[in-house]
Chains A and B, each alone.
Chain A
Amino acid sequence: MRRSHDAPDPPIHTARIVGRAALGGVVVAAMALSGGCVINGDRWARPADLAQGWMVDRTRILGIRAEPAELEPGQQASLEALIATAPGDEIQLGLLWLACPEEGVGCTTDLGGFDLETATPEELAALGFIGFEPGLPPTYTAPPGILSELDDSARLEGLNVLVQLTAFPLDTLQPQATATEPGALDFNEIEAGYKRLVVSEAPTPNHNPALVALTIDGSAVPPQIEAIRLEPGQPYELGILLEEGLGRERYVYLNSGGQIEERVEEPYATWYTSGGELLESVTLWPYMESTWISPAEPGAQGTWYVVVRDRRGGMSWWRQDWQIGPP
């Protein structure tokens, strides 16, 4: 007779609790508790700490436009810039305007020793100088022969002229600052920007977008209101209304195959604020709304800016002051 005796699972371990295993557990627990320990973590900025593009907390160029937006040869355009400053900043800015062909690295005019008061118009034109504010509003006149070297189809699309704007504190032009204290000009206080000004013989030249109103939660802000009062810590849906037809222009384009295409502009809006928080800083057609969270502090005040670009060189903007009232 056989008797099977298949042993059950033997004990895997001796029952003795060994201190080192427990010690290992303690070490692991300590490391787990220290999880997130970052050496010198506060010494360097995090990406989230960087200044947001939608926040106006310093002097900024937010837009540059020409009127008309697209020139024919020989036609003159006036130029305008949207410059925002931080709330409470009373700085007086000087705006230097230059224009040059869109080649290389832009307008490289050397203004060292340049005297606006004594320079002749010819000297100014040779330097690409087209204006200085305050005092000399910027204008640009396209030379009549600017497109002469292009063939017929290229003239329809035209070419770009680079308009360059430099904004700087006006007090740096005081004689004592420039002559005796050359280091007084802080380049960090200079804002520089440029835009392309289209000169063409297009049959449907571009126009700047026509804006109708700014909306808050779907309602247009009445034009007579200087600063709209809002509740603290609340989300608001900001929107911008474009004028029918002129908001999104139809135009023709001669493509590289020699065919004429009819196209419709697809504008986009960029949003800025000097307070609160914007959840969308860029919105593309047809989404022309952005969510804004108002500041939590009653009494806070600031400004919204929205710039609409039509992707053909035209742009328009709207600004609206706001004030946070008690809840």
Chain B
Amino acid sequence: MSPLLLWMALDASAQQPPAPEPTADPEAPLEDEGELPIVEGPAIVEYVEAPYPEEAKAQGLEAIVKLRIELTGEGEVDGIEVLEPAGHGFDEAAVDAVLAMTFSPARTAEGPVSVVFDFEYGFELRPGPTPPEPEAPPPVNLEGEVIEMATRDPIAGVTVVVDGTELSTETDADGRFELRGVPSGEIELRLLHTGHVTLTKEIEIVEGEITSAKLWMRSEAYRDNEVVAVYERAKDEVTRRTITIEEIRRVPGTFGDPIKVVQTLPGAARTPFGTGFLVIRGADPEDSGVYIDGIRVPIIYHLTGTTSVLSPDLIESVDYLPGGYGVRYGRTMGGTVNVNTKRAFEEDGKLVWGTDILDSQVYYEGRLGRDKRQGLAVGARRSYIDLFIPLFLGESQFVFKPRYWDYQLKWVPELDATRDLSLFVYGSDDLLRVETPADVAQGSDRDTQGNLQVRYSSHRIIGRWHEAITDDLELEVIPSVGIDGTTTGLGDDFTIQSTNVLPQVRAELSWRPLPVLEIVPGTDLLGGWYGFDFRSAASFEQLGDPLAEREPVGFDGSGTFWSPDPYLRLNLRPFEGSDRWLVSPGVRYNLVYFTTNGGITGEEEVPPAFNQSVDLRVLSRYQLVPDKLALKGATGLYHQPPQPQESIGVGTASTVGFERSWSTTLGWEQRLTQAIQYDVDLFYRKMDNLVVFDESFTGLGTNPFVNGGDGRAYGMEIMARHDPVGRFFGWVSYTLSRATRRDPFECVEDDQPENLLLGNGPCWYPFDFDQTHIFSAQAGYDLPRDFGISAQVQYVSGNPSSVFNAGIYDADSDVYSGFRVGQLNDDRMPPYFQTSLRLDRLWTFKRWQLETYVDLLNAVRGINPEFTIYNYDYSEFAFVRGLPFIPNIGLEAKFYP
């Protein structure tokens, strides 16, 4: 916690009450109990004048009493300390007056916070003529209401001044004011308030009439008002990243999607455009878990990889845990991303419509009912790329038609202070379709012709019940049920369909018997039923032989999957329960029961697969200098069940077990100034029992996969950021890392001795996404007139690749077969580099706002290879390049009905 020095210089005298507007020293740092900067200082709402001490008055003494005031987040004075006593009754009088005053609390972007500030109360004798007998006050002839534009919130504490007169007043909590004795005729009214643009308004005052005025003030920080999402330390986790939603949405290339920003954070490798993969700290894409409100979901991005499946306005925060996370999350060896949806909505409602080159979305949130206790959010989105592409390409060519839509509905009734309830329903549907004219051949195989179609749908209902049973005991239960469907089709002859029904329950009890001890037992149950159906014009063996006679094949299967996974975590806070030092050991029991019926073997039932393991993990975070410098570390085991397709033996019970990772993280975080902070993480991940293809697989009765692989990943991550204080924001992240794999079937002759620590040797090869350097920088600046400009720069080492040559011609199929030269992934593609820019402009009207923007994506870039392709005989190669220059124009309108 850094010291707060908010100096409030107030003048007071018995003769002339001062204007009690506190002034904040812009140079003075603020301090609060959290981390976010104070955007609005405390203010006096109701000033109380101290009686002049008789003794001092008699002696003609004047004084300034310096006080230190502790103000709560509710604006209540929690303590007063006299820093420099003046004696003679001044101190007591000043303290009594402050205690009688009413303050508005200091505020950060997240809301009111408690603060400590210094305060000077002055006593000054001003001899003068004996005041005349008070006259009857003149009648009120000007009244008004001051409202913030767009949000339509009343503004309290606005100073209303009639220029050229001594008349002034302040608005009350409802934003209302009254003025007496305003001279008739045309007057100029000036409204002043911290955080709002000063408003000058000409008003006609008619003699004998009461004039009413409704005055609209513009906030200086509409962008800051949207700061609702933070990437921050999840409960009892050691990683800490904080980026506001407004920053994220202004980063060019994110398409305004908060979840996309994960791919700019340390530890996250760059993945090919359109894949939406999360490759974190050298782990495979399927090794990282994605959650929404604590419930595991299969995808978080639409299949185009450009946007997430949730409306950006519904997202409250995103927990990005690249490694070293606790036992709350499991069944993954890589990173974890948890998206938290909002639990509180705009009281008066908000309607948002946004559109860009990809899609259009609409979103509403508000509080309904007579007493506005029913929070409701509704959103929907639909892409229209599929509608536009044919217009540009025509119907005579291959037509790539991606299409997606999603919807969300969240209901949050307001119960009481100890209980929370919410119900969230969302779903998405993605279709990737490549249409081909009937007379255009896609290769020579007649059974792999026609339109290619991949469709994926996912729907979830997620409930949440949270209750603070006592002060020390809390219960959270999150039940969920989801249905996911996948269809892949090629022409009329080839289809794979799967349907999964997945109930999940996450329940967690938090009991704090002692201030230093918190006991958290919980369960993370994931189960379900799955079914699949496979139809093909030929078997895989027949498809591999150009002369084989083809016969249609088809089989279906079903099964169940149950994994209850109980866990227990202890949170130890040795410093009297404070967060100064947190040690969190935990244990998780992984259990998977997997059954299969049908499949390739027909109706024959395959024996169930059963796997179990125990994860032990410990995390610690120590604030060496509170709120300035923290040390952090974690180590533990992470077990991951094999993927569904790896869990099915061909006519036999699967023998594939858990993959395992031992992950260790050490690092520190430091806040250098109020706005600038950085953190450093060193990580090491040892993976074994990785599932690899078994080259001894011979077909029916054997397992195609085996736990035979190993992996290593290690490196350093640095992130430095400038909080959105003032006009500038930005962050820089850099990852230096190496990731390798060992496959017993990929060994080459190598004189180098095997190094198991670093992952070198004859059977080791670079991981597919081994990117030595990953650098990204994002920054934005608020220009005058509500313009904003932001930019992004990315540099990433090229992905490893394998070299092929020596194409041999198969005269029966007119296709060359290439042969790999050297070891797997022993070459590397050129690096990835891109610079993008964004210019936006916010227009604010009385009841709505309009933001327009231009994203210049990839304005300056490298060739940005995504894949290597070879010519027909493997004698030449080229890189499939990344996205070209894309000028993306979009707009978003927010209505406040």
Contact = CB atoms under 8 A, between A and B. Distances in A.
Interface string B827-862: 000100101010100011110000000101001111
Contact of A268 (B209, B446, B860, B885): B446
B526 to A, nearest CB: 40
A312 interface: yes
B861 A37 contact: yes
A151 interface: no
Interface string A57-95: 000110111000000000000000000000000000000
Interface stretch (B213-221, B266-274, B361-369, B502-510): B213-221
Given A1-B210, A28-B839, A198-B547, A13 B786 contact: yes
B375 to A, nearest CB: 31
Contacts of B859: 31-32, 34-35, 37
Given A45-B876, A268-B441, A12 B551 contact: no
Contacts of A7: 201, 203, 213-216
B814 interface: yes
A32 B837 CA distance: 9
A309 B878 contact: no
Nearest to A270: B814
A282 B878 contact: no
Given A28-B856, A37-B861, A284-B446, A61 B809 contact: yes
A61 B214 CA distance: 86
Interface string B781-817: 0011111010000000000000000101111101000
B863 to A, nearest CB: 5
Nearest to B860: A37
B811 A195 contact: yes
A309 to B, nearest CB: 7
Contacts of B17: none
Given A13-B785, A40-B863, A44-B863, A253 B549 contact: yes
Contacts of A122: none
Contact of A256 (B144, B446, B551): B551
A160 interface: yes
B549 A282 contact: no
B206 A53 contact: no
B208 interface: yes
Most chain A beta-carbon contacts within 10 A, residue among B808, B861, B870: B808
B875 A280 contact: no
Interface stretch (A19-27, A209-217, A231-239, A241-249): A19-27
A36 B837 CA distance: 13
Interface string B856-897: 100111110100011111011111110011010000000000
Interface string B702-713: 000000000000
B478 to A, nearest CB: 44
A194 B808 contact: yes
B135 interface: no
Given A13-B785, A25-B839, A188-B875, A3 B210 contact: yes
A31 B837 contact: yes
Contacts of B830: 40, 44
A27 B837 contact: yes
B887 A309 contact: no
Contacts of B215: 7, 10
Contacts of A193: 808-811
A88 B753 CA distance: 53
A41 B830 CA distance: 11
B443 interface: yes
B469 interface: no
B787 A31 contact: no
Contact of B887 (A9, A32, A37, A41): A32
Interface residues of B, number: 74
Given A21-B784, A193-B810, A282-B814, A1 B208 contact: yes
A231 to B, nearest CB: 24
A153 interface: no
A192 B844 CA distance: 71
Interface in B192-245: 199, 201, 203-204, 206, 208-218
A132 B895 CA distance: 83
B811 A10 contact: no
Contacts of B810: 193-195
Contacts of A191: 809
Contacts of B789: 24, 27-28
B869 A50 contact: yes
A280 B863 contact: no
B860 A10 contact: no
Contacts of A263: 549
B809 A192 contact: yes
A271 to B, nearest CB: 10
Nearest to A37: B860
Nearest to A1: B209
Given A194-B809, A284-B446, A46 B547 contact: no
Given A32-B887, A37-B860, A312-B547, A10 B814 contact: no
B440 interface: yes
B783 A21 contact: yes
Interface string B33-72: 0000000000000000000000000000000000000000
Contacts of A207: none
Interface string B454-469: 0000000000000000
Nearest to B863: A44
Contacts of B884: 36
Contacts of B29: none
Contacts of B860: 31, 34, 37, 39
Interface in A42-58: 43-47, 49-53
Contacts of B861: 37-39
B528 interface: no
B849 to A, nearest CB: 11
Contacts of B355: none
B449 interface: yes
A50 B212 contact: no
B546 interface: yes
A138 to B, nearest CB: 14
Nearest to B141: A3
Contacts of A50: 869-871, 876-878
Interface in B62-104: none
B839 A282 contact: no
A319 B877 CA distance: 29
A24 B549 contact: no
Nearest to A286: B439
Contacts of B440: 280
A309 B812 contact: yes
Contacts of A49: 878
Most chain A beta-carbon contacts within 10 A, residue among B203, B551, B783: B783
Interface string B427-467: 00000000000011101101001000000000000000000
B216 A309 contact: no
A283 B171 CA distance: 80
B812 A282 contact: no
A191 B873 CA distance: 10
Contacts of B812: 195-196, 309, 313, 315
B862 A287 contact: no
A152 interface: no
Given A13-B786, A34-B860, A270-B814, A282 B881 contact: no
B885 A24 contact: no
12 contacts: A3-B211, A3-B212, A12-B786, A32-B856, A35-B856, A39-B862, A39-B863, A40-B830, A194-B808, A195-B810, A195-B812, A282-B444
Interface of B: 144, 149, 199, 201, 203-204, 206, 208-218, 439-441, 443-444, 446, 449, 546-547, 549, 551, 783-787, 789, 806, 808-812, 814, 830, 833, 835, 837, 839, 843-846, 854, 856, 859-863, 865, 869-873, 875-881, 884-885, 887
Given A9-B845, A21-B787, A255-B551, 5 more contacts: A43-B863, A50-B871, A53-B871, A160-B547, A284-B444
The 4 closest A-B pairs by CB, nearest first: A193-B809, A53-B872, A35-B885, A18-B784
